[in-house]
Amino acid sequence: MFTIALALVVLCALYWYGTRTFKYWENKGIKHDKPVPFFGNSMPLYLMKKSVTQMCTELYWKYPNEKVVGNYGASNPELIVRNPDFVKRILITDFAHFYPRGLNTHKTVVEPLLRNLFFADGDLWKLLRQRLSPAFTSGKLKAMFPLIVERAERLVDNAINAPPAGRVLDSRELMARYTTDFIGACGFGLDANSLNTEESAFRRLGAKIFQTRVLDIFIQMSKEMFPEICKHLKVLGKVEKDVISLVQSIVKERNYEPSDRNDFIDLLLECRRKGKMVGESIEKRKTDGSPQEVSLDMDDFLMAAQVFVFFAAGFETSSSATSFTLHQLAYHPEVQKEVQEEIDSVLSKYNNKLCYDAVNELNYLHCVFKEALRMFPSLGFLIRKCASRYTFPGSDLTIDEGVAVLIPVQAFHMDPQFFDDPEMFKPERFLCDFINPMTKNVYLPFGSGPRACVGERLGLMQSLAGLAAVLSRYSVEPAPQSLHHPRIDPSSNIVQSVVGGLPLLFRPRVT
């Protein structure tokens, strides 16, 4: 009898633990789907049936009259925001309440490679941001441009190499290899040669980073359900050794000093040479209420973490965006023709050579790229975590510290409230300012506010250069196996991807 009673007590305790937060949104009068013990509303994510973007989009349309919708990530309350004014407050106006991104499930134990500008929170994020921002000034971007041109020329001369009848290529993989080569050169001063080598080690590393294994899902699920017990479990162990070894070898080769390459590794070495990063804390206060001073050393592991995110975020987002742009142009030949005419006209002024100034003049191509990012943003959602108790102005909703806030970017981008005919590919909508003033708070392919993508201009420049190089020499058409509306990979995590790639027919232009 004692054993049975003990088992019942344990089961009751487990049930309480797995449902202890499930009255949170009900008590606040916020509509939400019914959660499942332990799993909350995240079962489809754990089973890889839906991505976070798909989940956010589904809830966005399920509750069309609500400003916010409740959700439970395992047992953690989450808020999906449907109101543009709330979005602006979260990302910009009231940023002090929402500075954490909240992607680390434990505040004190953070995996080494997650101590980077994208994943970091609090003082670590602030110190890194103020020290690394100079890497992306206009002067540095212009200095990098010859490296971009060299990779773009390799792309059209070697990687595509289509005969007159055309050649079917997976544009997703093609642009991923171009982006990987670019990042190898501009980031690390390396010739990754991913465009000419199918089994490039650099490309394999990139693929490995975004490979979602069942074990990774299990570890992440365990960390969300039992954060204290599972705080030392690693998701990124499979790539840590590769990235740290890569960085250490490059740093050693440069004798631990900045070289004349002016790449990302040089910037990190310059950061280290300047000594400690010092600044005012956004987390800690003195007794008089003023911020404490905090500092941080740029050691090998912190350098490796920045290299990891520069590589991972840069190649995956840009390759996704450029390949989807080509996909849309294949299905809209009239738009493609107009883009090519602009490219021909602009390049004719620069001896038919790509250069920094030429890319900046490709206004219509820029609009096409923006429209592709509207329809399929690489980051289909943004996430922030409430840092201190917060009441949304003009409402009676107050959320507590630790509540995650999700901004459904993909859903906003496809809402006819903000974009006329959202299912239609219409680049001209970006030729002038939006008539709807709310749109600026919901068109968010690079985020907004202090935590907006620090590499936006670099990613944009590299993406437009690659597209211009391809379209100056080739036209793209749907391949026999192409799908007009590709199927989103439900196992996508932060960056969206599609199932089966994006195959297209590349045909040499007749000029």
- 511 residues of the chain, pLDDT tens digit each: 667 777 777 788 777 777 888 999 999 999 999 999 888 899 998 888 999 999 999 999 999 999 999 999 988 999 999 999 999 999 999 999 999 998 766 555 567 778 888 888 889 899 988 888 877 777 878 888 888 888 888 888 878 888 888 999 999 989 988 888 888 777 777 765 544 555 555 555 655 555 555 555 555 555 555 555 545 455 555 567 777 777 888 888 888 788 877 777 888 888 888 888 898 898 888 888 888 989 988 888 888 888 888 777 777 788 899 999 999 999 999 999 999 999 999 999 999 999 999 999 999 999 999 999 999 999 999 999 999 999 999 999 999 999 999 999 999 999 999 999 999 999 999 987 655 666 788 999 999 999 998 888 888 999 999 999 999 999 999 999 999 999 999 988 788 989 999 999 999 998 6
The residues, ordered by sequence, that sit 6+ positions from 271 with a Cβ below 8 Å of its Cβ are: 131, 132, 277, 298
Position of tokens 């202890």? Answer: 20
CA-wise closest residue to 38 among 11, 56, 62:
11
441 within domain boundaries? yes
CATH number of residue 336's parent domain: 1.10.630.10
CA-wise closest residue to 355 among 152, 185, 146, 137:
146
Domain coverage including residue 463: 83-508
220 within domain boundaries? yes
34 within domain boundaries? no
Q: How many beta carbons lie within 10 A of that of residue 130, not counting itself?
A: 12
453 in a known ligand binding site: yes
194 within domain boundaries? yes
234, 111 in Cβ contact below 8 A? yes
47 within domain boundaries? no
DSSP summary character for residue 89 = I
Whole-number Å distance between alpha carbons of 461 and 99: 28
Whole-number Å distance between alpha carbons of 209 and 353: 35
Residue 298 token pair: 């740029």
30 within domain boundaries? no
Judge if pTM exceeds 0.85: yes
Residue 445 token pair: 């392919």
99, 282 in Cβ contact below 8 A? yes
Whole-number Å distance between alpha carbons of 337 and 324: 17
73 within domain boundaries? no
E-assigned strand segments in 250-408 = 277-285, 291-296, 382-385, 390-391, 398-399, 404-407
Whole-number Å distance between alpha carbons of 153 and 502: 22
9 within domain boundaries? no
Domain total in the chain: 1
